[in-house]
């Protein structure tokens, strides 16, 4: 499959270029708003061409798909342009700045008969797949509650627009809460109904929140507690799910790498749960490529991206107004 990269980003260089190539994909071109950085990026990653003109990239002969990993405010217009050019789209989260924009992206791809995927990497992890399977198999009975611990320390090389530029989509809610919303939806197969939240800015950045805690209700009656932060060097990440017949404890699993440990605790005791340690991004790209070939669906599609953004926006609104907010899924 022939790809174009929209965005000379860190995530592409650290994970997705390798994942595309691991699936036999060829990267024809990279788009950067800065010609010098684009040329340097292309040279460093063995990409044939760099351009600062999206129509040039979309006009590459034989181009099948694009991977969009620019800052968040650019995803909407770039995705719509790619869809209009008949290209399949793997787009980074959050899909867009607003729910309406995200819904427009998913609907446009659907109307054009193109594959549109959201790069929610966590649902591609062996650990999270194992949790989803344990829940589906009834190993913890009826799920009563879930806790997500996703307070990390933003590494210095990422302390740019994420912590100081609301206009580019900065803030821990669009950055991490979207992932946690997607992960909980993935485990439970249901969508949060209502949220309450408090958010704060510790001073790491400027103008956007760097920490948030929220509580969500689920249609089944389960309750979810979620904590995201950029400022916690030693907290470690994890998930707990508690049910009538057992509990699942995941530690160190809210990561980009196939790391961490899982335990199931039930009436018979504590059991370590083995899981597959494949590369998360390779699986995301592999399922996308299969979907383009007409086999199956991407790990997370456009509707998943709309819904994770919907939850995150509700959390932000709840934190702003200090009121409970019902999640609006834009008709999905
Ligand atoms: P980066 O800051 O690395 O890249 C975003 C944009 O910033 C690039 O498109 C580039 O613009 C510009 N840029 C990059 N490096 C520099 C530089 N040295 N100087 C000036 N500008 C620069 O962002 P990330 O890779 O961290 O995130 C990109 C997107 O991917 C976001 O939407 C984010 O939410 C998402 N993401 C998803 C992850 C996941 O696991 N699913 C993980 C990390 C990020 P240009 O292209 O114009 O050159």
73 C-alpha vs ligand 1 centroid, how far in Å? Answer: 11
Q: Name the 3-class secondary structure at 226.
A: strand
> Is residue 65 included in any domain, yes or no?
yes
Q: In CATH, what number is assigned to the domain containing residue 219?
A: 3.30.360.10
Tokens 């249609």 map to which residue? 219
89 C-alpha vs ligand 1 centroid, how far in Å? Answer: 17
99 C-alpha vs ligand 1 centroid, how far in Å? Answer: 21
- Record the tokens describing residue 142, joined without a space: 């009826």
> Is residue 202 included in any domain, yes or no?
yes
> Is residue 331 included in any domain, yes or no?
no
Burial of 182-207, coded b for 16+ CB within 10 Å and e otherwise, reads bbbbbbbeebbeebbbebebeebbee
- Is residue 92 in contact with ligand 1, taking CB distance under 6 Å? yes
Split at pLDDT 50, 70, 90, the class of 264 is: very high
Residue 292 sits in the same domain as residue 236: no
Residue 193 sits in the same domain as residue 292: no
- Is residue 165 in contact with ligand 1, taking CB distance under 6 Å? no
Residue % of the chain over a pLDDT of 70: 100
Residue 272 sits in the same domain as residue 217: yes
- Is residue 52 in contact with ligand 1, taking CB distance under 6 Å? no
Residue 193 sits in the same domain as residue 288: no
Residue 155 sits in the same domain as residue 237: yes
Is the pTM here over 0.75, yes or no? Answer: yes
Split at pLDDT 50, 70, 90, the class of 18 is: very high
Residue 233 sits in the same domain as residue 273: yes
- Is residue 284 in contact with ligand 1, taking CB distance under 6 Å? no
Question: What is the layout of strands, in order, in the sheet containing 65-68?
Answer: 49-51, 26-31, 2-6, 65-68, 88-91, 116-118
Residue 98 sits in the same domain as residue 150: no
How many domains in the chain?
A: 2
pLDDT beyond 90 at 203:
no
Residue 200 sits in the same domain as residue 294: no
160 C-alpha vs ligand 1 centroid, how far in Å? Answer: 10
Contact between residue 38 and residue 8 where contact means Cβ atoms under 8 Å apart = yes
Tokens 């790391």 map to which residue? 259
Residue 208 sits in the same domain as residue 261: yes
Q: In CATH, what number is assigned to the domain containing residue 16?
A: 3.40.50.720
Q: Which mutation among 39, 71, 162 tests ligand 1's pocket best, with the greatest number of atoms within 8 A of CB?
A: 71
> Is residue 318 included in any domain, yes or no?
yes
- Is residue 70 in contact with ligand 1, taking CB distance under 6 Å? yes
> Is residue 130 included in any domain, yes or no?
yes
> Is residue 304 included in any domain, yes or no?
no
What's the whole-number mean pLDDT along residues 20-49?
98
- pLDDT tens digit sequence for 133-184: 999 999 999 999 999 999 999 999 999 999 999 999 999 999 999 999 999 9
Residue 222 sits in the same domain as residue 212: yes
Contact between residue 212 and residue 135 where contact means Cβ atoms under 8 Å apart = no
pLDDT beyond 90 at 205:
no
Residue 144 sits in the same domain as residue 107: no
> Is residue 332 included in any domain, yes or no?
no
Residue 271 sits in the same domain as residue 133: yes
What is the phi-psi region of residue 86: left when phi exceeds 0, alpha when psi lies from -120 to 50, beta otherwise? Answer: left
Which range of residues forms the domain containing residue 63?
A: 2-121+282-299
Residue nearest to atom 2 of ligand 1 (CA): 9
- Is residue 7 in contact with ligand 1, taking CB distance under 6 Å? yes
- pLDDT tens digit sequence for 103-144: 999 999 999 999 999 999 999 999 999 999 999 999 999 999
Q: Which mutation among 11, 37, 155 tests ligand 1's pocket best, with the greatest number of atoms within 8 A of CB?
A: 11
> Alpha helices, DSSP H only, in the chain?
10-11, 17-22, 35-45, 54-58, 75-84, 99-112, 126-136, 161-164, 172, 178-188, 280-292, 302-321
45 C-alpha vs ligand 1 centroid, how far in Å? Answer: 15
- Report the pLDDT value the prediction gives residue 271, as an integer from 0 to 100: 98
- State which ligand 1 atom lies nearest to the alpha carbon of 281: 40
């Amino acid at each position: 499959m022939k790809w174009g990269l929209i965005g000379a980003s860190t995530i592409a260089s650290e994970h997705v270029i390798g994942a595309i190539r691991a699936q036999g994909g060829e990267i024809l071109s990279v788009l950067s708003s800065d010609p010098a950085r684009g040329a340097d990026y292309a040279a460093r990653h063995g990409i044939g061409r760099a351009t600062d003109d999206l129509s040039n990239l979309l006009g590459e002969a034989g181009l099948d798909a694009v991977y969009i990993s620019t800052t968040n405010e650019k995803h909407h217009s770039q995705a719509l342009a790619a869809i209009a050019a008949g290209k399949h789209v793997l787009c980074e989260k959050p899909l867009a700045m607003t729910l309406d924009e995200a819904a427009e992206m998913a609907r446009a791809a659907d109307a054009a008969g193109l594959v549109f995927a959201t790069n929610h990497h966590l649902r591609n992890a062996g650990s999270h797949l194992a949790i989803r399977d344990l829940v589906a198999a009834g190993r913890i009975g009826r799920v009563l509650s879930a806790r997500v611990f996703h307070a990390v320390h933003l590494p210095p090389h990422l302390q740019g627009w994420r912590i100081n530029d609301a206009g580019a989509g900065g803030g821990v809610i669009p950055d991490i809460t979207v992932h946690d919303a997607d992960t909980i939806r993935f485990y439970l197969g249901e969508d949060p109904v209502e949220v309450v939240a408090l958010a704060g800015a510790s001073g790491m950045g400027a103008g956007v929140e760097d920490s948030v805690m929220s509580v969500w209700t689920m249609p089944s009656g389960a309750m979810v507690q979620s904590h995201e932060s950029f400022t916690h060097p030693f907290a470690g990440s994890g998930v707990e799910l508690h049910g009538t017949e057992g509990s699942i404890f995941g530690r160190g699993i809210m990561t980009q790498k196939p790391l961490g440990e899982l335990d199931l605790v039930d009436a018979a005791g504590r059991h370590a749960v083995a899981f597959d340690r494949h590369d998360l991004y390779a699986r995301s790209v592999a399922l996308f490529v299969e979907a383009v070939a007409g086999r199956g669906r991407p790990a997370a599609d456009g509707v998943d991206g709309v819904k994770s953004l919907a939850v995150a926006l509700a959390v932000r609104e709840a934190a702003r107004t200090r009121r409970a907010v019902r999640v609006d899924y834009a008709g999905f």
